[in-house]
A and B are shown apart, each in its own frame.
Chain A
Amino acid sequence: MNEHKENLKSIVLWWLGTFVALLLIIFNTIFYEMLKYSFYNRVENSLAIVANQTKDNFEPSKDKIVTIPQKLDYPISPVMIAVFGANSMKMVAKTVTFMDIPLYQYIKSNENFFIVKTKKYGKLAIYISRIISPIKGYIVVATPMYKIDIKLQDILIKMLVLNPILLFLLLLGANLIIDRILKPIKEITEVANEISVGDLDRMIPLPIQKDEIYDLVKAFNKMVARLRNGIEMMERFNSDVSHELKTPLTVLKGELEIALRKDRNCDYYKNTLQIALKEVNYLIDMVEEMLFFTKIENEISQKEVLELDKILIKTIANLKTKANNKKIDIKIQKLEEITLNSNKFLIQNIFTNIIDNAIKYTPENKSIYIYLYQTYDKVVFEVIDEGIGISKNEIDKITERFYRTEKSRNRNIKGFGLGLSIVQKALEVLDGEIIFESEIDKGLKVTIYLKK
């Protein structure tokens, strides 16, 4: 993990460094060349001015080479000036400073300005002006380039020193910025490494700046919270399940051990076996309900058009025996013909669980009232019983798994408290809603809304 992070940083720095170095080389080369060009241009211009001034500054003579007086106001110095005649390339005039340079090839050329390297005098800039007066010929003006070359060299050295410093500073700055960017990522990594199933309460502190990292941290924290919820639910379910399993197991183990402690008569064994069978059945039912619970989620993919009224009638018919045993009258108060695109398995289970629950908690000789109707956007299913009801502070808890109200806690009332949480879960999957209204000892009204 650590190595990977180092790599990311060095990759960025490497590419940035290479890119900037290349840019610097290109820009500096261009800059240097432009500077050089501009310097040379200036020299050329100056020499041209000098040549122009020289034109009127000497009197040609046929016999001897005239000395051109050095003027002090030349735009460039030192200068060497010589004038040659056009015909024989004979020198007509020169300044005292003029030194012998092989000029023939340059004069023949069409160009005016030359940079010439001589062994004797070093680098020279030569300007050749073709004149027709006072004589027909050429004015050659030359100046040594060492001053300009020193200047250019100086600039080049400065560039060579400054550019790496610039690059270094840039990389240093980039390094700091990358560190700053990577710091929260490093923190995320650390926290993520530390987070185990056991301590999902950990949160990564949100950065102050609301940038992409902020979003990442937020998303990460949300993910951890979701995981925590899931695991908490699982843990609670596990603990509920093990708790619920322990009661029948305690009875089973105890009864069997007691029966085996001594020689008993036949009736005693029979009684023990009956108790054991009852507890085993209880365990089987419980395991089945639990498995069922985990199945709900997979059901939603299968949807079909359902005739809800027919399913409800069928469900009631299935529960009729149970109700008759307790002499409970199931009264269908309202039954509209409703079709709904939904999952048959889940709908059946919702109907069965709610009505079954009502039968369970309704005393003998009482009634249960059932309504099924629709509004413009919802299907409403209502079951009202005349049962033991439930207190207000218990209403919120009744959809919790394994929750049985205080009054129903004895296991004589069959069920594990999973029924309503199955309904709740099914409604979650079907995007429905369940509402309980109750007064203790007056019964319970369960209303279920299904989206059309």
Chain B
Amino acid sequence: MKILIIEDDEAILDMLKRGLEDEDFVVDVSSTGEDGEYLASTNHYDIIILDWMLPQKDGIEVLQNIRKKGVLTPVLMLTAKDTTDNKIEGLNNGADDYLTKPFSFDELLARLHAIYRRSALSGNNKIVIDDIEIDIDSKVVRKNGKIVDLTAKEYELLEFLIANRGSVVSNEMIQEQLWNSEEFISSNVIQVIVYRLRNKLSKSLIKSKRNLGYFIE
């Protein structure tokens, strides 16, 4: 799952990035509204974590702008403001969820999962394809009831393909999804991951379309 965090406080940003990466999220960060807005409208993210109180361009403004540009990525607002009015303002401006500081990291994770389920997986937390069963919340994959040991990237790719089930996902999209914008990978890394996934799960699960990418039917 790829996440963009827009937050001006370095300590919070650092904590979130480290914590989420530790949970196998792919994280991009921005400490200003301006940069955040640019990243949000040029890259694909599964969820944007957006701080309300930003210098210059505040969170609400960023939210309004990216929604105007047609970016439908779910947004979780993060703020110290905790009145009902604030929450309503945030939600009315296009936020999908709202978390007040100081928050519990576990709750943040749960909410991120919930948002992701709602937006990408239409609310399911268990996906079954043939004899393969994927538990989104615990990130556990079973084949014929037996747990299959996947690396973070393998799991991420599988989840991404399922989220986009039925449509072809390009190498670029996968690269963008599985790695943050500062990381550079060689082109065959994705190929290797697909190969391993096929070996671990089933040869026919992930299909290739020449020069276009991969898909799950």
Q: Which of B5-13, B41-49, B87-95, B188-196 lies at the interface with chain A?
A: B5-13
- Shortest Cβ gap from B174 to chain A (Å): 27
- Determine whether B211 belongs to the interface, using a CB cutoff of 8 Å to chain A: no
- Shortest Cβ gap from B94 to chain A (Å): 23
B105 touches A257 (CB 8 A): yes
Q: How far is the CA of A255 from the CA of B102 in the complex (A)?
A: 11
- Determine whether B19 belongs to the interface, using a CB cutoff of 8 Å to chain A: yes
**A251/B11 contact (C-beta < 8 A), A243-B80, A409-B55 known:** yes
Q: Which residue of B lies closest to A260 (CB)?
A: B105
Q: How far is the CA of A249 from the CA of B102 in the complex (A)?
A: 6
Contact with A along B93-130 (1 / 0, CB 8 A): 00000001111111000000000000000000000000
Q: Which of B7-55 contact A (CB under 8 A)?
A: 8-12, 15-16, 18-19, 22-23, 31, 53, 55
- Determine whether B144 belongs to the interface, using a CB cutoff of 8 Å to chain A: no
Q: Which of A248-303 contact B (CB under 8 A)?
A: 248-255, 257-258, 261-262, 275, 278-279
B56 touches A261 (CB 8 A): no
Q: Which residue of B lies closest to A248 (CB)?
A: B11
Q: Which residue of B lies closest to A256 (CB)?
A: B105
Residues of chain A with a CB closer than 8 A to B102's CB: 246, 249-250, 252-254
**A262/B22 contact (C-beta < 8 A), A246-B80, A250-B12, A279-B11 known:** yes
The residue from A257, A258, A278, A411 contacting B9, defined by CB atoms under 8 A apart: A411
Q: How far is the CA of A411 from the CA of B22 in the complex (A)?
A: 25
**Most chain A beta carbons < 10 A, residue from B18, B23, B53:** B18
Q: How far is the CA of A243 from the CA of B9 in the complex (A)?
A: 13
Residues of chain A with a CB closer than 8 A to B16's CB: 254
Q: How far is the CA of A251 from the CA of B103 in the complex (A)?
A: 9
**Most chain B beta carbons < 10 A, residue from A246, A250, A279:** A250
- Determine whether A110 belongs to the interface, using a CB cutoff of 8 Å to chain B: no
- Determine whether A242 belongs to the interface, using a CB cutoff of 8 Å to chain B: yes
B8 touches A258 (CB 8 A): no
Residues of chain A with a CB closer than 8 A to B23's CB: 261
- Determine whether A247 belongs to the interface, using a CB cutoff of 8 Å to chain B: yes
**A410/B8 contact (C-beta < 8 A), A250-B103, A258-B22, A262-B22 known:** yes
The residue from A243, A254, A409, A410 contacting B19, defined by CB atoms under 8 A apart: A254
Q: Which of A393-428 contact B (CB under 8 A)?
A: 406, 409-412
Residues of chain B with a CB closer than 8 A to A412's CB: 10
**A253/B55 contact (C-beta < 8 A), A247-B80, A258-B18, A410-B10 known:** no
B11 touches A411 (CB 8 A): yes
**A258/B15 contact (C-beta < 8 A), A246-B102, A249-B101, A250-B101 known:** yes
Residues of chain A with a CB closer than 8 A to B15's CB: 250-251, 254-255, 258, 275
Interface on chain A toward B: helix, strand, loop, or mixed SS? Answer: helix
- Shortest Cβ gap from A250 to chain B (Å): 4
B9 touches A410 (CB 8 A): yes
Q: How far is the CA of A33 from the CA of B17 in the complex (A)?
A: 109
- Shortest Cβ gap from B203 to chain A (Å): 34
Q: How far is the CA of A225 from the CA of B16 in the complex (A)?
A: 44
Q: How far is the CA of A279 from the CA of B103 in the complex (A)?
A: 16
The residue from B12, B81, B100 contacting A247, defined by CB atoms under 8 A apart: B12
Q: How far is the CA of A275 from the CA of B22 in the complex (A)?
A: 17
Q: How far is the CA of A242 from the CA of B83 in the complex (A)?
A: 13
Residues of chain A with a CB closer than 8 A to B11's CB: 247-248, 251, 275, 278-279, 411
Q: Which residue of A lies closest to B15 (CB)?
A: A254
Q: How far is the CA of A258 from the CA of B25 in the complex (A)?
A: 14
Residues of chain B with a CB closer than 8 A to A409's CB: 8, 55
Q: Which of A301-337 contact B (CB under 8 A)?
A: none
- Shortest Cβ gap from A149 to chain B (Å): 88
**Most chain B beta carbons < 10 A, residue from A253, A258, A261, A278:** A258
- Shortest Cβ gap from A244 to chain B (Å): 9
Q: How far is the CA of A327 from the CA of B11 in the complex (A)?
A: 27
Q: Which of A360-413 contact B (CB under 8 A)?
A: 406, 409-412
**A257/B12 contact (C-beta < 8 A), A246-B101, A249-B101, A406-B56 known:** no
B19 touches A258 (CB 8 A): yes
Q: Which residue of B lies closest to A409 (CB)?
A: B55
Residues of chain A with a CB closer than 8 A to B53's CB: 243
A257 touches B106 (CB 8 A): yes
- Shortest Cβ gap from B89 to chain A (Å): 16
- Shortest Cβ gap from B15 to chain A (Å): 4
Q: How far is the CA of A279 from the CA of B11 in the complex (A)?
A: 9
Q: Which of B175-194 contact A (CB under 8 A)?
A: none
Residues of chain A with a CB closer than 8 A to B101's CB: 246-247, 249-250
Residues of chain B with a CB closer than 8 A to A247's CB: 9, 11-12, 80, 101
- Shortest Cβ gap from B35 to chain A (Å): 14
Q: Which residue of B lies closest to A412 (CB)?
A: B10
B22 touches A261 (CB 8 A): yes
Interface residues in chain B, defined as those with a beta carbon under 8 Å from any beta carbon in chain A? 8-12, 15-16, 18-19, 22-23, 31, 53, 55-56, 80-81, 100-106
Q: What are 20 residue pairs bridging A and B, where the CB atoms are less than 8 Å apart in the complex?
A: A243-B53, A246-B102, A250-B15, A250-B101, A250-B102, A250-B103, A251-B11, A253-B102, A253-B104, A253-B105, A254-B19, A255-B15, A257-B106, A258-B105, A261-B22, A261-B23, A279-B11, A409-B8, A411-B9, A411-B11
Other A-B pairs, 20, CB within 8 Å; known A254-B105, A261-B23, A406-B56: A246-B102, A247-B9, A249-B101, A250-B12, A250-B101, A251-B9, A251-B12, A252-B102, A253-B105, A254-B19, A254-B103, A257-B19, A257-B104, A258-B18, A258-B19, A261-B105, A275-B15, A406-B55, A410-B9, A411-B11
Q: Which 8 A-B pairs have the closest CB atoms?
A: A257-B105, A258-B19, A250-B102, A249-B102, A246-B80, A250-B101, A251-B11, A246-B101
